[in-house]
Amino acid sequence: MVDRPNKPSAIAPAASAPQPTVDIADDNSSITATLPSGENVTVLLHGATVTSWKSGPGAEKKENLWVSEKAVLDGSKPVRGGIPLVFPIFGAPPANHATSKLPQHGFARNLRWEYLGKSTSESTTSGDAGTGPTDNSVKLDFGLYSANLTDEQQDQWPYDFGLVYSVTLSRDTLQTMLNVRNEGQLGFDFQMLLHTYFRIGDIGSTAITGLSGVTYTDKVLNATEHAQAENAVRIAGETDRVYKRIPQSTTSIVEGDKPRFDVVRDNLPDTVVWNPFKEKAAAMADFAPDGDYVHMVCVEAGYVSDWVRLEPGDTWEGGQRLRSLL
């Protein structure tokens, strides 16, 4: 028999057993963080786009985000799905404005971000004091700086800035926060938006609530202004609405009579509700399968009805907390 004096004791005391830790996988194009309880998030460095977020009570975690089967993930165009980050302009830029030369939705979703690292935390949930199960969370930080822009992009938007985007995963929530710092000598104006594509069962039985009484611009109806009369926004055709200066902080996505997601805005006054529906979905080269518009809805928290003004040396922070109710 082989003598193995250094073999660790098989009956080590429980207290010294290693605690399960957050797993981080980095394949040089994306970062995936997995909690010991199985929830996970993947962030593509291209655009710092969240491309997957899985959670749920059982061992089999469920995908919360919709990503097109034809989404382009190689950095040559923005990702059709997940959470693309829109900065410093939402939509087509206005004429005669500092953003006029930028592409639709700006440059942040088109550039490779830097992974800055992770921080983890643990909290003990209720139960007997100190002995309940442990809840882990992990925060992934990503950075984009004016120096990361091409010369052409720097000419198109000639400001010095630093962006830090923090994606925090905990048991049933995903928080995404953007910190914007003006590092230059000139003040600038920007818009930002978190273009979240939620995966849903069926658009026909889905409603968006929490927008009652809010004024919106209907981009499908020639940018006309309306007030949201009903509590539930239902989608039965192409929908593209900018809900502005919303007093309530939470917007919910309800499937049938069951709440499915809560979107809690932090320092973001507006929300865009978008579904391309049948014809527009079929016309988009990177939207697949064509019929999947029934399985997605975009509820996009942002600062888009106005501009955020940032003077030299100042910082601004805003974002969202998504809760998956499974």
Ligand X SMILES: O=P(O)(O)OC[C@H]1O[C@H](O)[C@H](O)[C@@H](O)[C@@H]1O
Q: Which residues does the annotation mark as catalytic?
A: 195, 300
Start-to-end C-alpha separation, the chain: 53
Please answer whether residues 242 and 214 qualify as being in contact, where contact means their C-beta atoms are separated by less than 8 angstroms. no
Residue 65 CA to residue 72 CA, distance in Å, equals: 16
Question: CA angle 85-89-92, nearest 5°?
Answer: 110
Give the residue with the Cβ less far from ligand X, 91 or 143. Answer: 91
Contact 140, 119 (CB under 8 A): no
Smallest distance, ligand X to C-beta of residue 300, A: 6
Ramachandran category for residue 258: left, alpha or beta (phi over 0 → left; psi -120 to 50 → alpha) = beta
Q: Give the residue nearest to ligand X (CB).
A: 274
Q: Using alpha carbons, select from 23, 20, 27, 21 the residue that is nearest to residue 115.
A: 27
Q: Pull the structure tokens for residue 152.
A: 């052409």
Interface pick for ligand X out of 48, 263, 298, 310 (rule CB under 6 A): 298
Q: Which of 198, 274, 277, 303 binds ligand X (CB under 6 A)?
A: 274
Dump the DSSP string for 166-183.
EEEE-SSEEEEEEEEEE-
CB of 280 to ligand X, least distance (A): 8
92/101 Cα distance (integer angstroms):
10
CA 91 to chain centre: 17
323 binds ligand X (CB under 6 A): no
Least distance between ligand X and beta carbon 260 (Å): 20
Encoded one letter per residue, x for contact with ligand X by CB under 6 A and - for no contact, window 107-146 reads ----------------------------------------
Angstrom distance (rounded) from CA 301 to CA 320:
7
**The tokens of 54 are what?**
């899985």
Residues 46, 54, 105, 199: which binds ligand X (CB under 6 A)?
105
Interacting positions 64-83 with ligand X (CB under 6 A): 78
Minimum distance, C-beta of residue 121 to ligand X, in the bound complex (Å) = 33
Cβ proximity to ligand X: between 219 and 244 the closer is 219
Task: For ligand X, give the closer residue by CB, 66 or 168.
Answer: 66
- What's the sign of the alpha-carbon dihedral 72, 74, 77, 80? positive
Residue (of 191, 179, 185) closest to 304 by Cα position:
191
Task: Rule CB under 6 A: say whether 104 interacts with ligand X.
Answer: yes
Give 24 or 72: the residue with its C-beta nearer to ligand X.
72
Minimum Å distance from CB 272 to ligand X?
5
Nearer to ligand X, 274 or 303 (CB): 274
Q: What are phi and psi of 109, to 5 degrees?
A: -80, -5
Taking residues 211 to 240 in sequence order and writing x for each that binds ligand X by CB under 6 A, - otherwise, the string is: --------x--------------------x
- With contacts defined by CB under 6 A, how many residues of the chain interact with ligand X? 10
- Cβ proximity to ligand X: between 46 and 105 the closer is 105
Q: Is 272 in the site for ligand X (CB under 6 A)?
A: yes
Residue list, annotated binding site for substrate: 80, 104, 109
Distances in Å between the alpha carbon of 38 and those of 122, 173, 185? 15, 13, 46
Instruction: Spell out a b/e string for 146-160, using b for 16 or more CB atoms within 10 Å of the CB, else e.
Output: bebbeeebeebbebb
Query: From the CB of 124, what's the least distance to ligand X, in Å?
Result: 40
Under rule CB under 6 A, residue 296 binds ligand X: no
Applying CB under 6 A, which residues contact ligand X? 78, 91, 104-105, 219, 240, 272, 274, 298, 300
